Structure 1
Amino acid sequence: MRNRPLYLALAAGVICAAPLAAQGESLTTRYQARADSLIRGATRDSTAWNRMAELVDRFGPRFSGTPELEQAIDWVVARMREDGLENVHTEPVMVPRWVRGQESATLTSPRSMELHMLGLGGSVGTAAEGVEAEVMVVGSFDELTRRASEARGKIVLFDVPFTTYGQTQPYRGRGAIEAARVGAVASLIRSLGPFGMQSPHTGGMRYNDSIAKIPAAALSMEDAMLIHRLIDRGERPRVRLRMGAQTLADVPSRNVVAEIRGSELPNEVVVMGGHIDSWDVAPGAMDDAGGCVAAWEALRVMKRLGMRPRRTVRVVLWTNEENGTRGGTAYRDAHRAELPNHILAIESDEGVFAPKGFSVTATEPAVAQVRQIAALLRSIGADSVELGGGGADIGPIMQQGVPGMGLMVEQEKYFWYHHTSADTPDKLDPVDIARSVAAMAVMSYVAADAPVRIAFGRPPAN
């Protein structure tokens, strides 16, 4: 999962009929009975949780370029066809292939200790003997700049406490660039998360081709703070880093697509989904098997209840969100001619904890109509609407003018487990997932069935 972006590049030229409110009937009034039916259908049992758990337990981590990801995709396609969903198929995507290899980080002075570490996705490796150097700890990029003369030949550790993902993620993303810029031989970060228990978090990083590429890894928050304390006491800790990471040639993967075709306007599409891949160390229950299942089950509930909307509802399980977003880009390219008739894109990639509502990037009139739909979800506490919705996978089509929306959920514990081996099914509650299914089902169905196309358009400038 990446930080929810505020995609503002929406279509300015969508011409629509007058909103339903002008015709004297709200979406809430028109659809309450059908929404209640979808909610009952989604929350009557633990089917969604069971399906999520089977996907995660059967295949484990589903990293781009691995057989496990492709086997999981085959399994999903087979289950979708058994569900009777329409137009079930895959679409090709070339994805990057990064291999972690053997890795370790060892504190060699003032005492010997194996550190809890994970290499960051996309990092280069070290020589077989590793790289060993004194550690320099900084708390910000500004501090690194002020102390640049001290960094040459050292390993730079960014010990930055987690605040929000958006504020802290840059240290993971470009820490190696900034450390190399001042002559460091490796870059370490304190793992991105508010809670520890010696669990390092991986995630993507990047390089600048004009600056030396140095190895980059994350330490557990406890180990990062240990090194910081040693320095504060006047010690000069040294760390030996060994990483067998390498980037291989791109390999083929696939997006998964399934639909319920619209009864009257099948070429107009509401698309929703999550990402089927996960990090190589993470089983990916909440990030993002749960999001995939929430969209998939929403479509299945519509199918089981015989609720075919006027427009097409399409589920896409995007590949390679974690280390490339190639799935979202490939979907944009494959469907570019259809994008003017994509009336809404909904992404679930913030976990499937208790749903709170939706975030949306749209005009004020459209937001008012979204609030009418969200009001249908008051019984499950998912009726909030906030401005600024989107997601990494729908980002490429939002940039082409497709309105975007994200499922909002309770996130108190999300970053405890994010990009770690602890992202397992037990972290998710069957009731929460079922309610997330209900929220996705109601929002997508009403948006697709509304007698007047919702007047999405370019939001006002801030």
Structure 2
Amino acid sequence: MTNKLLSVLLLLFLSSSILTAQSRQEIVSQIVQEANENSRLKVLAHELLDVVGPRLVGTPQMKNAHDWAVKKYSSWDITARNEQWGKWKGWERGITHVDMISPRIQSLEARQLAWSPSTGKKGITAEVMILPNAKDSLDFIDKLKSVKGKFVMISMPQPTGRPDDNWEEWATEDSFSKMKAERDSLDKKWEERIERTGLDYRELPKALEAAGAEGIISSRWSRGFGVNKVFSSYTEEIPTIDVSLEDYGMLFRLAEYGDRPELKIVAESSELGEMPTFNTIAEIKGTEKPEEYVILSAHFDSWDGATGATDNGTGTIVMMEAMRILKKLYPNPKRTILVGHWGSEEQGLNGSRAFVKDHPEIVEKVQALFNQDNGTGRVVDISGNGFLHAYDYLGDWLYEVPEDITQHINTDFPGTPGRGGSDYASFVAAGAPAFNLSSLSWDYWNYTWHTNRDTYDKIVFDDVKNNVILTAVLAYMASEDPETTSREKIKLPVSKRTGEPMTWPEPKDAERAGMLD
């Protein structure tokens, strides 16, 4: 080969590399422009949260959400489908109205818990009492007679509805310390009261129900102003009602002082038998390597104390908006870009576990998966999840993301494998390179995670927009990468707890028939 021919080939190679770099920069620039100037995030959030509403597995609203997503993707010319993976106990929330009718009249802030039995339209009127304080489990059995015909309060009354940061700002040091000591003492005494029943928090409502109680009243404060955690009922025939800290405290004091408060509770709901459960899957088919996949991941379901705005409405609309932008600007990706909106994450990663189990041919060909779940904040942490060479490719992809976004991000390479918490862990367990895009807090754990305040107004759209750009650029770079990502794993260390070598997490199948035993 002549020197002249070598020079020509080198020039062609360099020209091609320059054009490729320029093309990448142009696509990234267009992604940023589209996300900033033509955002659909607020419309998506409104339609999902305000119109569809909460998305509890087994409810008609969950199916409405799946159907809405398929229709939305179709409007963007993206192929989408609902894929059934199991079934769940069907239930639909109706009207909840809780009124104190004695010693005075006051409507209370309250809601029935998920899967709570209905009171019917007429409701139930009864006196409120505090969980009996027994000496031991035998004494509790004897005192269970007193709950017949009553609403029974089973939660500790909080001494303050002010979060700790409010106390830190305004209280004296002595006053703050005194409050915490009082709260710790009350908490310990209440836990001891529960322990003496011989039952845990799942078994206790069932025992009260069997003893003839008219309903269960609880209040699970989330350490923020006006915020309660709202989960599920364990009763089968009587209603279980969550009451706000403020109103619960009032009822507790009235009962404690002998004022015999009475409530009228209307908590309508419908049991619907078996309901199918789905994942919504959408994809932009690859052109050069269609059998390889870049997956965008976010769970679609929520608890239904509110509308699931930050858990996980924000993750959902990030992935939808990223797909819309990629379809518009990058309609012929090298690899297939697939998005999974998983069902029943809240009950144990069920949708994503089912997908991993049912689609080994896809999991085997995953180039990378990007998952977003924990709130409205901009992404600030990414771990290599124990994949030895994750830095080699993920670092390159992150380099193409605008610096005003990556400057906030801390990385941990190679990291250790995620074992739960969100749907990326289902894929990590199967050996697929899956990464969680972990967000800044915005008081997520206290104010929105599984609470009655997880609503549209808590979304910080500037941060969510940043996450759209990050996700879209990472998906683009992963699709374009000429190399297939390495799946080589780190050698895990010895467990400090057991003294044995740690092992990689194992894949688990989904719960395919939830609450139907």
Q: Shared fold by TM > 0.5?
A: yes
Q: Residue deviations 1:153-207, cap 9 Å, x none?
A: 45311457989xxxx9xx9xx733356579985654434533234x655224568
Task: Give 1:121 shift.
Answer: 1.5
Distance of 2:440 and 2:132 partners within structure 1: 33
Matching residue within 79, 83, 90 for 1:91: 83
Q: Is the 8 A contact 1:119 1:216 kept in 2?
A: yes
Matching residue within 152, 155, 166 for 2:153: 155
Q: How many residues align?
A: 416
Task: Give 1:295 shift.
Answer: 0.8
Matching residue within 212, 221, 225 for 1:196: 225
Q: Residue deviations 1:193-225, cap 9 Å, x none?
A: 33234x655224568xxxx98754322132344
Q: Residue deviations 1:29-48, cap 9 Å, x none?
A: 99667545533432333322
Matching residue within 421, 446, 449 for 2:477: 446
Task: Flag the 1:46–1:300 CA change in 2: closer, same or farther, 3 A.
Answer: closer
What residue is the counterpart of 2:404 in the other structure?
A: 379
Task: Flag the 1:269–1:102 CA change in 2: closer, same or farther, 3 A.
Answer: same
Task: Flag the 1:73–1:126 CA change in 2: closer, same or farther, 3 A.
Answer: closer
Task: Flag the 1:118–1:458 CA change in 2: closer, same or farther, 3 A.
Answer: farther
Residue type at the aligned position of 1:76:
A
What residue is the counterpart of 1:412 in the other structure?
A: 442
Provide structure 2 residue ranges, at least 5 long, that are not aligned to the other structure: 1-20, 165-186, 192-199, 496-517
Task: Give 1:315 shift.
Answer: 0.6
Q: Is the 8 A contact 1:295 1:437 kept in 2?
A: yes
What residue is the counterpart of 1:6 in the other structure?
A: none
Task: Flag the 1:96–1:150 CA change in 2: closer, same or farther, 3 A.
Answer: same
Q: Is the 8 A contact 2:53 2:61 kept in 1?
A: yes
Task: Give 1:338 shift.
Answer: 3.0
Q: Is the 8 A contact 1:260 1:313 kept in 2?
A: yes
Task: Give 1:294 shift.
Answer: 0.8
CA RMSD of aligned residues (A): 4.4
Residue type at the aligned position of 2:281:
V
Q: Is the 8 A contact 2:230 2:304 kept in 1?
A: no
Q: Residue deviations 1:83-128, cap 9 Å, x none?
A: 232x422212434312334545555777664432222223445696
More displaced stretch, 235-244 vs 351-360: 235-244
Matching residue within 33, 39, 51 for 2:32: 39
Between Structure 1 and Structure 2, whose CA radius of gyration is higher? 2
Task: Flag the 1:144–1:452 CA change in 2: closer, same or farther, 3 A.
Answer: farther
What residue is the counterpart of 1:8 in the other structure?
A: none
What residue is the counterpart of 2:432 in the other structure?
A: 402
Distance of 2:157 and 2:115 partners within structure 1: 21
What residue is the counterpart of 2:5 in the other structure?
A: none
Indicate yes or no: 2:382 matched with 1:358. yes
More displaced stretch, 259-268 vs 153-162: 153-162
Task: Flag the 1:97–1:244 CA change in 2: closer, same or farther, 3 A.
Answer: same
Q: Is the 8 A contact 2:294 2:367 kept in 1?
A: yes
Task: Give 1:70 shift.
Answer: 3.6
Q: Residue deviations 1:264-306, cap 9 Å, x none?
A: 3322222223233444453333333332221122122222222
Task: Flag the 1:192–1:364 CA change in 2: closer, same or farther, 3 A.
Answer: farther
**TM-score, length basis structure 1:** 0.72
Distance of 1:311 and 1:137 partners within structure 2: 63
**TM-score, length basis structure 2:** 0.65
Q: Is the 8 A contact 1:48 1:293 kept in 2?
A: yes
Residue type at the aligned position of 1:435:
N
Report SS of the residue matched to 1:441: helix
Distance of 2:117 and 2:422 partners within structure 1: 24
Task: Give 1:307 shift.
Answer: 6.5
What residue is the counterpart of 2:17 in the other structure?
A: none
Report SS of the residue matched to 1:175: coil
What residue is the counterpart of 1:9 in the other structure?
A: none
Residue type at the aligned position of 1:193:
S
Provide structure 1 residue ranges, at least 5 long, that are not aligned to the other structure: 1-27
Task: Flag the 1:100–1:305 CA change in 2: closer, same or farther, 3 A.
Answer: closer
What residue is the counterpart of 1:135 in the other structure?
A: 130
What residue is the counterpart of 1:255 in the other structure?
A: 279
